[in-house]
Amino acid sequence: MKIIGFVGPSGTGKSHHALVVAYDEKIEAIIDDGLLIYRNRIVAGHSAKDETNYMKAVKTAIFSNKEDAAAMRGALRRIKTDRLLILGTSKHMIERIVAVLQLPAPARFITIEEVSTPEDMAVAREQRVKEGRHIIPVPTMELKSHFHGYLLDSVRSLFNRSGGKESSEFEHSVVRPVFSYYGKLVFSDAVLLSLVRHTTSALQGVVKINKIRIRKNRDSRVNGLRIDLTVTVRYGENLKKLTAELRRAVEKEVAFTTGMGIDVLQVTIKDVVAE
């Protein structure tokens, strides 16, 4: 199975453009916010947009529940598709979904900037923030039995290609999830620092955390964090193995708790001591 990731910050129009990307790439199956959409029908999963709060929505989108992940793996086996488009806010999020669902690594990534204009992304962002409008890339009649939040309306979009010589029409559903009424969810730096500190301290072999620095990755075109971590480790530890475990643990905890991806995690061993 060939996996293609479709990456873009939340609220920039990924779901709106997902059918167009799938059409151009000759893909029949899409995973978007916990749903498996195959030939314009929902065949498995439940929408993260149907959750009652943002944290539940994040966990649904990345298949944190083992039963949900197992059901999705089974559905993918049944449809036997040879191409799959996975939507995510970062490359790391898509890679996490791929790992949980036991799929091949993404063959490539497409960013929202490649298929949308800054003006269109600004409009999508304004609708998300001010009106709580979310798009699900299936017809409304198909969605009603799967979605229990606030259904708004269906919308048809006409996309032109090849200088306007070719056009295709796609129907989407516009919804306003319950969690959209709660406003914007912001994680302070202190929360992120505590998460990284707690996860790192729990690893055997790490004696001391010397320094943690967390910031938005300015070199990334998608939403992601850069974490620089300096530690003191116990003498006799396999440094390569320990740093790999540290990376996995920190990435897993940050993604699970906040839904944020980590683009860069730099680990520096400052000292080695004998306890």
Provide block-wise average pLDDT over 10 residues at a time, the chain (275 residues).
Answer: 93 90 93 93 89 82 92 95 94 92 96 92 83 82 73 71 59 77 64 88 90 76 75 90 89 74 85 85
pLDDT of residue 142: 77
pLDDT of residue 180: 63
Beta strand residue intervals within the chain, DSSP E: 2-7, 29-32, 35-38, 41-45, 83-88, 108-111, 134-136, 150-161, 166-176, 206-216, 225-234, 262-273
How far apart CA 70 and CA 41 sit, in angstroms, is 20
Sheet of 206-216: strand order equals 206-216, 225-234, 262-273
| pTM, entire model | 0.67
pLDDT of residue 184: 55
Domains of the chain: residue spans and CATH: 2-131 (no CATH), 189-273 (3.30.70.1350)
28: its two tokens: 């029949």
DSSP 8-class letter at 49: G
pLDDT of residue 262: 79
